[in-house]
Amino acid sequence: MLEIGSFLSDRYEILSKVGAGGMSDVYKAKDHILSRFVAIKVLKQEFSEDSSFVTKFRAEAQSAAGLEHPNIVNIYDVGSENGLYYIVMEYVEGITLKTYIEKKGQLSFKESASIAIQVARGIEAAHNKNIIHRDIKPQNIIISTDGKVKVTDFGIAKATSSNTISSDVMGSVHYASPEQARNGFVDGRSDIYSLGIVMFEMVTGRVPFDGDTTVAVALQHLQEEIARPSIYAPDLPISFEKIILKCTQKTPDRRYQTIEELLTDIRRSLAHPDEDFVTIAPLVDGGKTKVISPEELDKIKEGRGVAEDLNDDDTDADNDDEYADDDDEYDDEYDESLLDEDDDDEDEDDEDEDDDDDGKLLNPKMDKAITIMGIVTAVIIVIVIIYLALSVAGVFKFGGKKNSESQQTESQTQTESESESETQTETEGQMIDIRGMSVDDAQKAVDRLKLDLTVFAFETKQSDEKDGTILEQDVKAGDTVKRGSQINVVIAGKGDSTSEMVKIPSVIGKTKSSAKSTLESAGFSVTFEYGDYNNSVAADVVTAQSPSAKNQAAKGSTVTVTLSPGQKPITVPNVVGASQSQAESALAGAGLKYTYADSQYSDTVPAGSVISQTKSGETVAAGTTITLTLSKGKQQVSKSVNKTLSLGIENAKVVDGSYTLKGSDGQTYASGTVTSAEVAVSGTMNCASGKLTVTWKYTVPSLDGDGNEVEGEIQTKTETVEVQ
């Protein structure tokens, strides 16, 4: 673990630890060469001595280094130092999509579509360079403070020069495609499936498949049809729902074939949300559910990606970093039993003969085709017999409709309503007891019956129970209830008489005043409270409401609305004395803007550094502008000097000497030799004051006894005067 304040490569200053994964730790750092904040992923010490782990770690940088796109977290640098291996990445200030969904519950159609478009653009850029992400999930999608959406953690991506790659099941199992779950061949359509699951979660606030173990979830991806998102999001436009359903088809051939196709439909959905334009290819086998054999189940359980120890508990700051093995070999001789029936058309491109478990050769193509035709014929006969028997027993009440649908399936003109019926295997079931629950909890409880039931509170009664508690239900527990039925309930409420029940409108995303007007117009009282600081939602915009929209409540009851207080206030850092680049980095890193006043001279602050600033130490909103004043350095002063100095000794003869004129800044502005008793010095100083120093060497002659002049000893005199 790196110490806070330490440096990597004499360049990256470690500022804080922001996350950890299975193989690496992530730090926020300062790049002192380029004056920017970065994120550094460092391989954990226990893995750094293992060459295979080092290879996997570096594979991330190798696969993603060539990606440059506004919707991708860019890789800047990769290196090693003292046994530490690290990758330097773009630092993005913001929150993960997972956290955003958890905070908002359900995202609107338009917001979900906008986020999906940006994610798809990033994935498209990777696909264009033959890189499959293989771990698309909300934890790997970051929403920056400026609203940009970026895909990160290409930790298990692998560059390939072909159209497909061989893969162990990797990534988070809740978002893994069926081919990943079965250790099959993976291409760009696997990312499209995962993005479809992400879109499902955005509009519904939940993942479509969940379970106690990773294997249980993986099997649901393989065997169970995804529920229609509109069950949980009734206002979802049909176009966007069908986009999600097309993305999440079990067979890759029934999904969007490219990200470009998906982007085209999402944009069209935004323009024409209620237009039914999405087409999904019909199932070639009539929509029968595929049953996983015990042998296949064992293979799935043994797969590295869906093993019981798979860490799927990703958090916003703790995303596991899983890496593809560069030593994986691509083998066209794969187990055909793991393929969907839809992939049979591709068999002609494979080897004519495959080795079975005993090492014997399988039958040739013709024998295989005859065998398959025989099996299909037998299955059809069995189905017809079962159908006739059940019809006689009166099980099929809508035989005409089923026959029509069968005919349409055979002619491959299957309608979307039939596709929906594929997920609805039960037409009726037994009602459960929902008394004592709130309407919200009751709706969640009946949703688990998978009968598309709706809990509707049609009246209230005075009761000692908590307001909103269900007192009565018109379909009693144990009674048979048909799919799509409405369960009418009576709830506890205030007052002596029954109250009119009103559907609660959604005010999520509205301003405070707009939310108040909307709810009061519907007949509700409103109370407001503020939630946590939110970098993505402006102040006084609604982030949550209770009771939630689409429920019913007694007219005149209170709806509690949660407002965003906006971005977290920021304490303005003191940057006085810092260089211009250091000050800009510090302010930008704190989420502040900056501007400049006129520069000033300073005798103490070097040129280019900050003399003063506004709002130092104050608490301000993100994006506040701070005014900086830069130093121009010391002011240059021009001083002219004309000075004459005299030796002042009678009869003295100057034999030598010198003079210097030095300014207060230490520079010498004039110098020379002295040849006479009077010295005239002139010059120009770039400062306000200085010193003039003159040194004479001289003799004073005397007369001897004969009256002759005698040369005296050489004497020295120095005189210094201040020049101002």
Active site residues: 135
Name the token pair of 256: 């969007």
For 204, list phi and psi in degrees, rounded to 5. Answer: -110, -20
Residues 265 and 116: their CA atoms lie apart, in Å, by: 11
CB 244 within 8 A of CB 227: no
Residues 542 and 508: their CA atoms lie apart, in Å, by: 5
CB 42 within 8 A of CB 48: no
Q: Which neighbouring-strand residues pair with 595?
A: 627
> How far is CA 645 from its chain centroid?
79
CB 186 within 8 A of CB 99: no
For 493, list phi and psi in degrees, rounded to 5. Answer: -150, 170
CB 65 within 8 A of CB 41: no
For 443, list phi and psi in degrees, rounded to 5. Answer: -60, -40
Helix, strand, or coil (residue 127): helix
Half-sphere exposure of 447 (CA within 13 A, CB side): 16
CB 198 within 8 A of CB 174: no
25 residue type, one letter: D
Separation in Å, CA 222 to CA 77, 194, 399, 451: 39, 13, 29, 22
CB 559 within 8 A of CB 504: yes
Residue with tokens 């002609």: 348
CB 160 within 8 A of CB 130: yes
Quick count: other Cβ atoms within 10 Å of Cβ 454?
Answer: 15
Residues 553 and 558: their CA atoms lie apart, in Å, by: 9
Where in 375-484 does DSSP place strands (E)? 428-430, 454-461, 470-473, 480-482
